[in-house]
Amino acid sequence: MIILLCVHRLGLHGAATWWHVNDRPHCLSVNAAHNVIVTYPGVGKIKVFSSHGDLLRELKLPDDVITPLHTLQSRSGQFIVCHGSRVLDDPIHRVCMISADGRHIVHSHGAQQGSAIDQYRSPSHLAVDDNECVYVVDVNNRRVTLLSPTLSYMRQVVSSDKLKWKPTRLYLDVQRRRLYVTDNEWKDNKYTAGRIVVFSV
């Protein structure tokens, strides 16, 4: 069986295009130049494509960035990556700011997995506001954490009592100051129900 691993681009008027990305992608984001950043947990890489699918850069992340799950690019060109899978029993669960060449960790927040304010249990998705503060979905701690532009802890934005199940993704509407968080039920090793919860930030 042949499995095609692709990114699909849907135009405003419904026209769709797609391109191969290979290496089992996990999450994607779009930077200020409208390039598409794709994260590859299994091989510890990120790839940057043009909005039409041309491969612009491929970066191997530092060895201690294990199972990267989502990547954003800051205005300064650095990459913000969350990594660490509880399913795979990764030793480190954190958010890192990585140099624009992909070689060095500049700042980080988190370490061994846990539930303290400086720990995570599967940080899976990120969003950045106009001040370059970072919102982090912490799946198994069932919360969303806010970090400074240098990844220092600021506060908990969404606590577990505001969620019914497990948060996995988020989207920040900067203009309306709304944070959209997916809240998903996990039963029998699969997601069985879900909803979107909206918070004012």
- Residue 79 in domain: yes
- pLDDT above 90 covers a percentage of the chain that reads 69
Q: Give me the pLDDT at residue 3, please.
A: 54
Residue 23 or residue 31, greater confidence: 31
- Residue 57 in domain: yes
- Residue 20 in domain: yes
Determine the structural domain holding residue 41 and report its residue range.
6-163
pLDDT tens digits for 58-110?
999 999 999 999 999 999 999 999 999 877 788 899 999 999 998 899 999 99
Q: Give me the pLDDT at residue 10, please.
A: 85
Q: For residue 142, give the CATH number of its domain.
A: 2.120.10.30
- Residue 156 in domain: yes
- Residue 178 in domain: no
- Residue 200 in domain: no
Q: Give me the pLDDT at residue 149, please.
A: 96
Residue whose structure tokens are 């990594």: 83
- Number of structural domains (the chain) is 1
- pTM of this prediction exceeds 0.85: yes
The mean pLDDT value for 186-193 works out to 82
- Residue 21 in domain: yes
